Amino acid sequence: MSAARYDATQLEAFATRLLLAMRVPQDKAEAVAQILVEGDLMGHTTHGLALLGPYLKGYEADTITRDGEPIVVADAGAAVTLDGRRLPGPWLVLQAMALATERAKQHGTGTVVIRRSHHIASLESYLRRATDQGLLMLLTCSDPCVASVAPFGGLDPVLTPNPIAAGFPTGGVPVLVDISTSATTNGLTNRLHSEGGRLPAQWVIDGHGKPSDDPAVLFNEPKGTILPLGGVDSGHKGYGLSLLVEALTGGLSGHGRADEKEGWGATVFLQIIDPAAFAGAGEFTRQTTELVRQCHASRPSKPGTAVRTPGERGVRLAQQQRESGVELYPSIMPMLEPWAGKLGVALPHPIA
């Protein structure tokens, strides 16, 4: 299958129309479409429009709430807890960002945790909305209804890949971090398994504890699991980070693995920090700019390459793809074609 390129604006409009055809309110449909396309723009091909089909299936099965607002569980000024009522995750996160930003302007920091959100897509898709305002953002999530990652030294899955994302401004391209606390993600292992592919390294273990690069071990009996970040050698580091994510999400929100499962979704921790409330925005940027300069000045380990900071590649790729078209992963549009036909929505035309 060859990859086709599509205009980003047309992709957003296409995704919005599909969601509207599922009776999703306009503001929620647009939020989901924007965040998904942003994922593909930045190269997160398993967490962009690849998720639209599963989201549509969720709406069809009424496992995603269409209407209404989240419920405020607690509000302590700089700390707010919301019950997302299984509303669409991208819309909930954008709402929470606006609230956390408002509180950060008042208190220096604003933290919002969301329980019972639906899936929130690519975490990096949100970060520029904070860094472009000169703010620092932390974002992490877990899914208490899914277990695909074993604790370090164990065989039975307990955790999800539990990503951690952070973004902060510099004098140039912001630093945008988006990493899983596991060696790989459910999205990638599911895709490679369906395609008969292999992982780049031994990021999973089979049901007997043997490391493997074959995602099929996650589906064979006895089922294997994804390894924590660091793998068999230093996976205690990823395991520790993953437990921290669980505390920030399930612990602070009061909804996690101690509760009944409700289906695929997310529990979210989001924090906005305003550097102006600390040593000052100018001092913050002075420090981060110099930090990035020193990283760039480090001699590359491979001749002909350059040292980059996290997010540089994604920002550059997004700019290029906005200009020349988004190169969708080959399986994405064929997956969405049946939905388009079923819902009476015209497919976008490739531009290349």
Average pLDDT over residues 267-291: 98
Which distant-in-sequence residues (6+ apart) come within 8 Å of 258 by Cβ?
Answer: 250
Total-model pTM = 0.96
d(CA 53, CA 49): 8
Q: Check pLDDT > 90 for residue 261.
A: yes
What is the DSSP-derived secondary structure letter of residue 331? T
Whose tokens are 């695929």? That residue is 264
Q: Which residues of 66-80 are buried (b: 16+ CB within 10 A; e: fewer)?
A: eeeebeeeeeeebbb
Task: Identify the pLDDT of residue 2.
Answer: 54
- Considering the chain, what is the average pLDDT of its residues? 97
pLDDT band at 3 (very low <50, low <70, confident <90, very high): confident
Q: Provide CB contacts within 8 A for 97, sequence distance 6+.
A: 112, 126, 129, 130, 137, 270, 272
Q: Which domains does the chain have, with CATH numbers?
A: 5-170+184-282+312-343 (3.30.1370.60)
The first and second tokens of residue 211, run together, are: 């490391």
Please state the separation of Cα 93 from the chain's center in Å: 11
**Inter-residue contact 182 to 198 (CB < 8 Å):** no
Question: What does the pLDDT look like over 10-20, one tens digit per residue?
Answer: 999 999 999 99
Q: How confident is the model at residue 1 (pLDDT cuts 50, 70, 90)?
A: very low
pLDDT at 44: 96
For the chain, what is the largest distance between any 2 Cα atoms, rounded to a whole number of angstroms?
Answer: 56
Q: What share of the chain is helix, strand, coil (3-state, %, to 5)?
A: 45, 15, 40
**Burial class of residue 176, CB neighbours in 10 A (0-12, 13-18, 19+):** buried
Q: pLDDT per residue over 200-242, tens digit each?
A: 999 999 999 999 999 999 999 999 999 999 999 999 999 999 9
In this prediction, residues 154-168 reach a mean pLDDT of: 97
Place of tokens 């979704």: 265
Unique residue bearing structure tokens 């429009």? 49
3-state SS class at 299? coil
| Residue pair 336/49 in contact by the 8 Å Cβ criterion | yes
What per-residue confidence (pLDDT) applies to 352? 66
Cα distance between residue 305 and residue 238, in whole Å: 28
Query: Cα separation of 227 and 223, whole Å?
Result: 13
In which band, very low, low, confident or very high, does the pLDDT at 4 lie, cut at 50, 70 and 90?
A: confident
Q: Percent of the chain at pLDDT above 70?
A: 99
Secondary element (H or E) of residue 246: helix 231-246
Residue 192 to residue 190: CA distance in whole angstroms = 6
Give the pLDDT confidence of 104-158 residue by residue, as tens digits.
Answer: 999 999 999 999 999 999 999 999 999 999 999 999 999 999 999 999 999 999 9
Q: Tell me the torsion sign for CA atoms 104, 116, 155, 197.
A: negative
